[in-house]
Amino acid sequence: MKKPVDVAIVGAGPAGCTLGALLAERGFRVVVFDDAKRPDLLVGESLLPTVVDLMRRLKIEDRVKEFSQFKPGVAFMHRGGLRLDFLFPEGVLGKTPNYSYNIPRPEFDNLLRTRAEELGVEFVTRRAKVERGENGREVQLDAETLEATPELGGEHPKLLVDSTGRARLFARALELSAKRGGRSDVAYFAHYENFEAESMVDGQVVLSILEHGWSWRIPLPGRLSVGVVLDTKAAKAHGDTPEERLESIIDAEPILREAGKGRKRVTDVMTYTNYQLISERGHGPGWVAVGDSHGFVDPMLSPGLFMAMHMADALDRRVFKKGPAVLDQPERLASGFAKVEAEMLDWHEAWGEIINYFYDGRMFSMYEGGSKLRELYKKWALPSLMEKHMSNQITRMVSGVSTRSRYGRGLVAYGTKHLTWNTEPPEFYAVLA
């Protein structure tokens, strides 16, 4: 006879499957509800080097290699002609690998589920329903879900995890509010053949600041993921459908038009809206939210999937490392959840800072100033050494290694104020609506 279910996770995305796999390794009995509804395309196709650390913990990197494109770094191209190339040089990222991968998301998500199953997680193909809880639980599975899920044996699990992504199932059931970011953008993206990536090195992701909004180009095996992000109102001028809008924007933007002149779209066009959002609270008696259910950030710099998997890893290490017995210690659970939530809020703030440097043009303006320092001074002169140190720190921050570093954040704030002499003002480089 099986022991009662310790943890039920609602949602089988990267956050839920990662957490389920890690808990199963620690002896928890875990059931994951999977509604089996996955779109063919998902935002989050370009991974940070820090995700490779998590792959290694799950022992899946070799399998990821088989269907992914090696990613050595990222480039930023500006409509005015300036280009910033961030590669991941050996040693700069410390113990974190100096590379990552661009992934077809369906294959990656399926692999995370497969790994969780290998470690003993039980999957239920059903859409779970929740309601306000009782008997010390703030939220619980409803009677219909309990009855239709024999794996639960008619009993509520000790802990529920919301991994429903941007649906935020528990927050909606509890009528929890959320803090939204300052942007109102929409993204359209699809996969193409015969579209130039303009990478300096194979696999390098290219982000472009357009006449209006910005775009990504992510090299994948045999194709290129192309997305455009712009203000919701501005998008309406490009047609009535996502397909019309994506194609029109590509043709209207000089940076993309030439690169995509021979393009062939090989997938449907996907729409992504309503990002930059954090729930007012991500845990309570008997439940915790993980990944996008707790909060999600802007897709620029690709932090989303890392944040989802890292939060699962943080919960495992900080709350569940002592095994299933912790579920019978509500005060310890609440304290652990609060610490992880505080860490994740700091992550959100840090990512918001570095992303805003690109949106408002300060990063490009500082880079222009640094380039002039390199030209003006010799290689080993102090200003050139300072510029190199700054570049290394930014590389560490955009890779996820030291995004939260107080030193790095302070250094970049200083640089954007004092390394912009004799340059175009930040407004010249800003992302325009």
DSSP letter for 331, please: H
CA dist., res. 37 & res. 85, Å (int):
37
CA dist., res. 403 & res. 406, Å (int):
9
Predicted confidence (pLDDT) per residue in 392-402, tens digit: 899 999 999 99
In sequence order, the 6+-apart residues with CB closer than 8 A to the CB of 96 are: 49, 50, 52, 53, 399, 400, 401
Q: What pLDDT was estimated at residue 262? A: 93
Q: Confidence band (pLDDT; 50, 70, 90) for 354?
A: very high
Same-domain pairing of 200 and 256: yes
Average pLDDT over residues 85-109: 93
Q: Confidence band (pLDDT; 50, 70, 90) for 13?
A: very high
CA dist., res. 51 & res. 304, Å (int):
11
Residue 95, domain member (yes or no):
no
- Is the entire prediction scored with pTM above 0.85? yes
250, 273, 296 - which closes a domain: 273
Q: What pLDDT was estimated at residue 149? A: 96
Residue 75, domain member (yes or no):
no
- Percent helix, strand and coil across the chain, each rounded to 5? 45, 20, 35
Total domains, the chain: 3
Residue 85, domain member (yes or no):
no
CB 209 within 8 A of CB 429: yes
Compute CA 157 distance to the chain's CA centroid, rounded to the nearest angstrom: 29
Same-domain pairing of 375 and 390: yes
Same-domain pairing of 257 and 284: no
Query: Lowest-pLDDT range, 129-138, 396-405, 421-430?
Result: 421-430
Same-domain pairing of 34 and 163: yes
Q: Confidence band (pLDDT; 50, 70, 90) for 86?
A: confident
Predicted confidence (pLDDT) per residue in 383-392, tens digit: 667 778 888 8
Residue 332, domain member (yes or no):
yes
Same-domain pairing of 159 and 299: yes
Same-domain pairing of 261 and 289: no
Tell me the percentage of the chain whose pLDDT exceeds 90: 81
CB 47 within 8 A of CB 107: no
**Mean of per-residue pLDDT scores for the chain:** 93
Same-domain pairing of 398 and 424: yes
Rounded alpha-carbon distances, angstroms, from residue 251 to 29, 189, 216, 260, 265: 53, 14, 15, 8, 14
Average pLDDT over residues 52-60: 97
297, 323, 351 - which closes a domain: 351
Same-domain pairing of 299 and 327: yes
Q: What pLDDT was estimated at residue 279? A: 93
Domain span at residue 127 reads 7-68+103-178+277-351
Residue 81, domain member (yes or no):
no
Q: Confidence band (pLDDT; 50, 70, 90) for 381?
A: low
